[in-house]
Structure 1
């Protein structure tokens, strides 16, 4: 019996470049998920909707969107060993709210707490500590996966590992993750200590990040990120601010500071896009970039709340609204360690075309994992925020795609909104292996998404 009928709802990715009116089901229990799966011929799985493009949108009107955000219960938490079992719709924020004050935290936290556990697994998200801690999937002990025939399978690195790793980073295309067991890590406090270094060129920024990566490999809890100034020209292009964070102990805290700060309250409501082109332009980007670089100063040992350090996106929840009605895209890619020259080439591409990204960040990546579609590879990852109105067609960034693929790199599927399928097998050389496992899990081909259809991931 079907417990609820699908309703029509207007949905978009977080970047707001695509808007679709979709049939949506929002089941509240496992049984209702099974009923919905058996009733619908084609299904797109959706969590909190924080993927930037069309990963959680249907490709056409024949698909129903399965919204899992009502499956948000914490099943169990062993405070002795830090193992927590949660439903897939649980927000990382809610999980951290429940565990941080007890001295436990997620080993990997992306730039926002407002994504679901299922979305974090499906995107195999990474944080600023990847060289030491790896990506989110490395800390999943097991998961319960609902297959398209309505049966459930428990997957782990030792129990059907091919299916497990196809689901880690599998973009919701192998089945419905219902719940997962995660291994948390101990923390002494809810604070971090920040060391900041200001650089004067891209080469200096890269060298500072290389040195940080060596420290990160030895300390899984050490985080590093660089903001790059892309509005300047010539030798100063890519100057930046490199922030390195490490966990604060109780001995590091002044006596008046509580070990665990009160959870911050961030606005999560949908903010309307500003009219027209919004406030993001080359002029405002240049002014903001210059001000940020000049006002920042190198310095060590600044105390910062852990959640503010790890989740800066949550301080700018309305960021996409500033880009106007056509929204924004984030172009994020990774290249191997010896391909730092590609970072120069990509920044120069945008600079010479007068398309200054509104935000550019650089992070270190360490070892990859066994997920065929997982994004991280050892090396560098650069993320650039751009007004979508600057991309006149899908070919605008094709030269950048070719630079990335030619360097042995790849684009981040969770962020993508514009890439075409030709280079995807080159970027993800294990795509054929993933397709074979996905076919075994979903022989009827019921799981789909706009991303999957646009990039030809399923065939």
Structure 2
């Protein structure tokens, strides 16, 4: 597809559970972008397409692909403020800034999402208790509204519009550029401490202890992998990893402070035929092997980017689940609702839905964004073969566990949540909708997610 030329394409989310054929426009210049916006009545904004579900898929109208807008506009090496176009990948930003001692303070499990997508999903990393989510690092946003005008939003100028856009799933307008405050680092390495636990209670205790340290240090990351296949008292046994920044004095003499970034393949692998290779048997074998062959250890030197972005070493992960793809169900609950984690894991295993991957992270204070996902407490993510979810209501009991505990699901990854529970999970939804309609009186912005969950008309 040449710039500005429409093309009919088959699109999906990263999980490959939903396919949509749509007309895609990929303007190369701002004038063409504005012209497209004014000409089209219904538009879904799309970046790198790494949302698991249908957040970047259309319900109707065209898809606006922003990946041509990928420049780093400016980078002040003194203050660490970078201004980036929305279609730039986080990878590109880190490639340019890390070798001179700056990096993005918040990075999710992949660098291969766009800056606009990171803002729209208000993504989080493994250091949320200290650093907060991505939106906390954003100084201002240039937003193209549905009337073709561009406005600059910040916490001091139209704060309601700013926070509605952060976590707003691309439904307030086209994010054109963002100014981001970077974080100083001494090296491109971290030190990993690993603890193997024997039960969910021990895993929770270890993560609680790490949360206290994380609150004091935004550079401290923590994540736990859980063995959801284990039964009885062993359910939720796991591997808890803590990462913190390495100084130059921590490096052996032959190790460069900033390692060369190995260029990985970005070609999307075809889904394996039929059910793929992920099954109850392979999940059981992989889970047991991972837990038994891991050992508690301290002070292992690991490249920062490898530690924070494991998904970039697993581009073939969705393909392994076969033609139906993978659903990632991620939820957050308050700290005192930790029992919900056990409740959810027990439900899944009792119903033959043992996750292929289960991870637990700490969350700190949430943001002012009405649709921002993080809340003080816990977040659990489980990867399930989509073919196991025979009915749209298969996970409805889990939705109810989460909502009843005062929790919520992650919109950026959702494909299955009961729409009736969204106002319960997001009690500021009505506030967000009022701001969204002010920014988009033409009702131009849409998505399959926004329509399915009743976020927009």
Q: Normalised by the size of structure 1, how large is the TM-score?
A: 0.99
Could you say which residue in structure 2 is the equivalent of 1:7?
Answer: 7
* 2:402 is the counterpart of 1:404: yes
Helix, strand or coil: the match of 1:75?
A: strand
Could you say which residue in structure 2 is the equivalent of 1:43?
Answer: 43
Q: Given the alignment, which residue of 219, 222, 235 partners 1:221?
A: 219
Deviation at 1:355, TM superposition (A): 1.3
Q: Given the alignment, which residue of 177, 181, 184 partners 1:183?
A: 181
Cα RMSD, aligned residues only: 0.9
Q: How does 1:139-150 map to 2 (within 5 A)?
A: 139-150=137-148
Q: How does 1:292-311 map to 2 (within 5 A)?
A: 292-311=290-309
* 2:275 is the counterpart of 1:273: no
Deviations 1:353-410 (A, max 9, x none): 1111000000000000100000000000000000000000111000000000000000
Check conservation: 1:194, 1:246, Cα contact below 8 A: yes
Deviations 1:133-159 (A, max 9, x none): 000000000010000000010000001
Could you say which residue in structure 1 is the equivalent of 2:172?
Answer: 174
Deviation at 1:458, TM superposition (A): 1.5
Deviations 1:247-284 (A, max 9, x none): 00000000010000001222111110000000000000
Could you say which residue in structure 1 is the equivalent of 2:333?
Answer: 335
Structure 2 unaligned residues grouped into runs of 5+ = none
Deviations 1:148-193 (A, max 9, x none): 0000100000010000000000000000000010000110000000
Q: How does 1:239-318 map to 2 (within 5 A)?
A: 239-318=237-316
Deviation at 1:130, TM superposition (A): 0.1
Q: Given the alignment, which residue of 419, 422, 434 partners 2:420?
A: 422
Q: Distance in 2 between matches of 1:427 and 1:35?
A: 37
Check conservation: 1:420, 1:454, Cα contact below 8 A: no
Check conservation: 1:72, 1:89, Cα contact below 8 A: yes
Deviations 1:176-214 (A, max 9, x none): 000010000110000000000000000000000000000
Helix, strand or coil: the match of 2:413?
A: coil
Deviation at 1:215, TM superposition (A): 0.3
Helix, strand or coil: the match of 1:204?
A: helix
Q: Distance in 2 between matches of 1:315 and 1:169?
A: 26
Check conservation: 2:399, 2:418, Cα contact below 8 A: no
Q: Distance in 2 between matches of 1:71 and 1:226?
A: 36
Deviations 1:214-270 (A, max 9, x none): 000011100000000001110000000000000000000000100000012221111
Q: Distance in 2 between matches of 1:216 and 1:185?
A: 16
Q: Distance in 1 between matches of 2:135 and 2:31?
A: 26
Q: Normalised by the size of structure 2, how large is the TM-score?
A: 0.99
Deviation at 1:420, TM superposition (A): 2.5
Q: Distance in 2 between matches of 1:447 and 1:157?
A: 23
Q: Given the alignment, which residue of 231, 235, 238 partners 1:237?
A: 235
Q: How does 1:113-132 map to 2 (within 5 A)?
A: 113-132=111-130
Q: Distance in 1 between matches of 2:239 and 2:76?
A: 39
Could you say which residue in structure 2 is the equivalent of 1:59?
Answer: 59
Q: How does 1:364-403 map to 2 (within 5 A)?
A: 364-403=362-401
Deviations 1:102-152 (A, max 9, x none): 000000010000000000000000000000000000000001000000001
Check conservation: 2:4, 2:27, Cα contact below 8 A: yes
Q: Distance in 2 between matches of 1:341 and 1:37?
A: 47
Deviation at 1:5, TM superposition (A): 3.6
Q: Distance in 2 between matches of 1:149 and 1:420?
A: 33
Deviations 1:30-57 (A, max 9, x none): 1111011011000000000000000000
Could you say which residue in structure 2 is the equivalent of 1:156?
Answer: 154
Q: Distance in 2 between matches of 1:287 and 1:29?
A: 51
Helix, strand or coil: the match of 1:181?
A: strand
Deviations 1:271-328 (A, max 9, x none): 1000000000000000000000001000100000000000001010110000000000
